[in-house]
Amino acid sequence: MTNTPDLPERTPTSAPPRAEQSASVLDDSTYSRVLEPRGSGRLPLGDGTWHQLARAYVRVQLISQGAVFVLVLAAAIVAQAVTGFAWQWIPAGVVLLVTAIGIVITPRQARSFGYQLRRDDLVFRRGILWQRVVAVPYGRMQLVDITHGPLDRGFGIAQLKLVTAAASTGVTIPGLTQRAAEQLRDTLIDVAETRRTGL
Amino acid sequence: MTDPTAEDGRDPAASHPGASHPGASHPGAEVSGASHPSASHPAASTPGASHAGAEVSGAEVSGAEVPGASAPDPSWGPPEAESAADPSWGPPAAESAAQVHPAADETPPRALVRSPLSDGEWQRLHPLTPLLRGGLFLLVVIGIIVANMRERLLELFLPAVTDLPPGVLPPDPVDFLFANNLILIAAGGALAVLIVLLVAFRLSWRFHTFRISDDDVEVRSGVLFRTHRRAPLDRVQGVNLTRPMVARLLGLAKLEVVGAGLDSNVKLEYLSARAAETVRGDILRLASGRRRSEGRTVAASGGSLVQQAAGAVGAGIQNMVDGEDFSDAEPESIVRIPFGRLIASRVLSGSTLMLVAFVVAIAIAASLSTLWLLFSIVPAFLGFGAYYVRSIARGLRYSIAPSPDGVRLTFGLFTTISEVVPPGRVHAIEVHQPLLWRPFGWWAVSVNRLSGRGSTDSSTDPFAAVLPIGTRDDVERVLRILAPALPPEEWTYVFHHGILGPVEDDPYVITPARARLLRPFSWRRNGAVLTADALFLRRGWARRTLTIVPLARLQSVGLRQGPIGRASRTATLAAHVIAGTVQTSVGALDRDAAVALFEDTAHSTIAAAAGDRSHRWAG
């Protein structure tokens, strides 16, 4: 939008202004190595430093998914004991199976998330079985959204979502420490201000 | 008007005081996409100008409260000399409105606007508006009542009705009225309701005003619940003029300024057809930023008196050289669709294949079981027939033409739609050819763009199918006006290598031979190529498709790979653009080539976006 020529001059050096000094905040109590698929045909990591999710994210996920698992199981058992029916095991079984798979893969999956703050764009990657890499130019960001539920707050983590005009961009960083999330948000907004482009 | 960030609770620091942080004093968690370039916004004293837009959307709807909107406004006073009866209904209160807005620099200059309706003051819609917006419904209700009363009246003359035993109340309210001699009261009541409705219509018309200023289009409406919607002009995605059947009979038209968000259109319904046409021209001229560029040159030469005089003379000469601006006039279409071809194209479309398959399936089923199954074909035929008629009627009177303010598209037999889409508003272009069209060499072009519709609006965006059918020449002409920025040397990628490819020296990165099982028929075609301005994606063997994604509009770029792709060392490249009918990803590319394309696209996008000036296309 402010494509006017009186834009502040872009510094050709490594630009996200606070990214350097904030690296310690972004990497505080996170994983240190991005987990990749084993196959040699995988999407390569490339160079540059990847920032990762906070370790607490896995705990939050395990607790919440475990709670769902236990609750569904308990509800199904109670229903069985009270009514004597068995049909509730069909939906309950589906939910239990999905949750159990989630519990098993979450610790590995969480280590596959990564994001890089490059000079002009943010690169985001996730997934092991289904890998996905997205590059979002800073100027395209319309919105930076931070959410955290009660459990997230208890463990001090937050979810950060980048919204562009295209719904398919889909960049959501689920488990940052709250300090990292706020730091990242402010950095992104600062950078986006200077690199604003049209839709 | 409160700060939208505080309402949405998007700023977690605001909603969770515990999470205090040095950066929490940042007022908004958003990158506000819709805010005006504040340096160029002249009048912060305008009602609502303090509204900092914070959404993706180009238009904002604010609640009932607009600071300053409650200030006395002479144009809201008693009706000025019954302007409703005046067929030419120009702005009746031009002199009274002048003192309302002391910020005169907000007013667009005379040279730019043609219509008195777009002079930067609050204006009203056409007085017949309530009739079309709600009055038709009223007419229908009255018609139903009259139809029922007619039966009543008939019954009255035939003495078969009144054989109820005395003392028993009739079962019907009308009978009840007759029985108790309440007919006068009922008629009075009906009259009162009618008068109230008419007054309400009149009031809603009086309170429905719009303003076209230098930077945005605003609409205020509602009597009790006020709505104030404004669309910044540099986010205008198009202006369309719809003339539904009934409105055409009355000489009216609906003007819709297409904004950039979900349900963000600003509708001016209804204006007289001629006024709507000039207002659209004004909106586009203002949005193009022509005044800004002119203003800059004048300011630059505004040194001494001599220079100013020289500048004035120069501008005069320039005007003489330019001649009169005919941009409002209907330009000549660059594509003609013969009636026969239109019908043939619809008959040969994929839906016909579906119909044939359905009929065959039903026939087989009927021959195997009961003949009665054949009757289920009837509704299918009705449905398909309606579809054919609709799509053919839509394609009639099709015309597409370049204009100074973008592509102008017109079509429709009964409901005529004419839309102008400024340059740089097209996010992806697709040229495709269904299998049955191949012998005739016909193609269709569709685009993705921001249509500003709500998520509940199921009607298709009229502009999405830019060219319903055309020959290769037609397609080339249409693409040239849709993607005017494409340099000439890249045109070979479109037809020679792209749509008709692959040929020798294929520049496209295609599916490697080892992965041909993933694209058994189309693997030689399935590919992508990147230039400095656009990403070309070529797909399909039976249904040949070429997608052009202008990098200046690309939102982000992605790579995907699943287990099969990993085993075959391939990946899917996805260009993320505004959602629409055009698919913008291509799968089964060689992994290394895809990674290289991904990186190059990411870099080229930034360069292209930084050089993009199309939000004010004349400037």
Contact B559 A132 (CB under 8 A): yes
Interface of B with A in 544-563 (CB under 8 A): 552-553, 555-563
Which residues in chain B have Cβ-Cβ distances shorter than 8 Å to A139? 606, 609-610
Q: Is the pLDDT of residue B230 over 80?
A: yes
B425 contacts B237 by C-beta, under 8 angstroms: yes
- Tokens read off for B221: 């409406």
Interface of A with B in 48-87 (CB under 8 A): none
Q: Taking all residues of chain B, what is their mean pLDDT, rounded to a whole number?
A: 75
Q: Does the predicted model carry a pTM greater than 0.80?
A: no
**For testing contact with chain A, the best of B5, B20, B31, B216 (most A CBs within 10 A):** B31
Residue A164 contacts B, CB cutoff 8 Å: yes
Return the pLDDT at A105.
Answer: 94
Q: Is the pLDDT of residue B49 over 50?
A: no
The Cα A42–Cα B541 span in angstroms is 28
Return the pLDDT at B333.
Answer: 87
Q: Is the pLDDT of residue B520 over 50?
A: yes
Helix (H) or strand (E) holding B549: strand B544-550
Question: B586 vs chain A: nearest CA distance in angstroms?
Answer: 14
pLDDT along chain A (199 residues), means of 10: 41 46 76 90 90 94 96 94 88 95 94 93 94 94 91 93 90 93 92 80
A114 contacts A50 by C-beta, under 8 angstroms: yes
| Structure-model confidence comparison of residues B124 and B371, the more confident one | B124
DSSP classification of residue B502 = -
The Cα B175–Cα B162 span in angstroms is 9
Return the pLDDT at B109.
Answer: 58
- What is the SS3 assignment for chain A? CCCCCCCCCCCCCCCCCCHHHHHHHHCCCECCCCCCCCCCCCCCCCCCCCECCECHHHHHHHHHHHHHHHHHHHHHHHHHHHHCCCCCHHHHHHHHHHHHHHHHHHHHHHCCCEEEECCCEEEEEECCCCEEEEEEEHHHCCEEEEECCHHHHHHCEEEEEEECCCHHHCEEEEEEEHHHHHHHHHHHHHHHHHCCCCC
Q: What is the pLDDT of residues B102-129, one digit of tens each?
A: 444 455 555 667 778 888 889 999 888 8
Residue B12 contacts A, CB cutoff 8 Å: yes
The Cα B426–Cα B424 span in angstroms is 6
- Tokens read off for B149: 């009363």
Which residues in chain B have Cβ-Cβ distances shorter than 8 Å to A148? 12, 16
Contact A198 B615 (CB under 8 A): yes
Residue B33 contacts A, CB cutoff 8 Å: yes
Could you tell me which residues are beta bridge partners of residue B253?
B271
Contact A43 B561 (CB under 8 A): yes
Question: B264 vs chain A: nearest CA distance in angstroms?
Answer: 14
Residue B574 contacts A, CB cutoff 8 Å: yes
Q: How many CB pairs under 8 A join A and B?
A: 181
CA distance between the termini of chain A: 8
Return the pLDDT at B7.
Answer: 40
Return the pLDDT at A160.
Answer: 94
Q: Is the pLDDT of residue B296 over 70?
A: no
Contact A137 B606 (CB under 8 A): yes
Provide DSSP, B61-118. Answer: EE-S--TTTTS--GGGSS-STTGGG-SS---TTHHHHHTT---GGGSPPTTT--SGGG
Of B567, B598, B613, Cβ closest to residue A133: B598
Return the pLDDT at B458.
Answer: 63
- Tokens read off for B39: 């340096």
Residue B31 contacts A, CB cutoff 8 Å: yes
What confidence category does residue B58 fall into, taking pLDDT thresholds of 50, 70 and 90? Answer: very low
By percentage, how much of chain B surpasses pLDDT 70?
A: 69
- Residue of chain B nearest A18, judged by CA positions: B23
**What residues contact residue B345 under an 8 Å CB cut-off, 6+ apart?**
B437, B442, B444, B468, B469
The Cα B500–Cα B205 span in angstroms is 55
The Cα B501–Cα B507 span in angstroms is 10
| Structure-model confidence comparison of residues B461 and A23, the more confident one | B461
Return the pLDDT at B305.
Answer: 56
| Structure-model confidence comparison of residues B463 and B227, the more confident one | B227
Which residues in chain B have Cβ-Cβ distances shorter than 8 Å to A133? 558-560, 598
Of B29, B560, B591, Cβ closest to residue A144: B29
Q: Is the pLDDT of residue B354 over 90?
A: no
Return the pLDDT at B262.
Answer: 80
Residue A133 contacts B, CB cutoff 8 Å: yes
Q: What is the pLDDT of residues B176-201, one digit of tens each?
A: 777 777 788 888 998 998 888 888 88
Span B161-177, mean pLDDT?
A: 56
Residue B37 contacts A, CB cutoff 8 Å: yes
The Cα B251–Cα B126 span in angstroms is 10
Return the pLDDT at B527.
Answer: 93
By percentage, how much of chain B surpasses pLDDT 90?
A: 23
Question: B609 vs chain A: nearest CA distance in angstroms?
Answer: 6
Contact B576 A134 (CB under 8 A): yes
B553 contacts A199 by C-beta, under 8 angstroms: yes
Return the pLDDT at B589.
Answer: 94
Contact B609 A137 (CB under 8 A): yes
Q: What is the pLDDT of residues B80-104, one digit of tens each?
A: 333 333 433 434 333 333 333 444 4
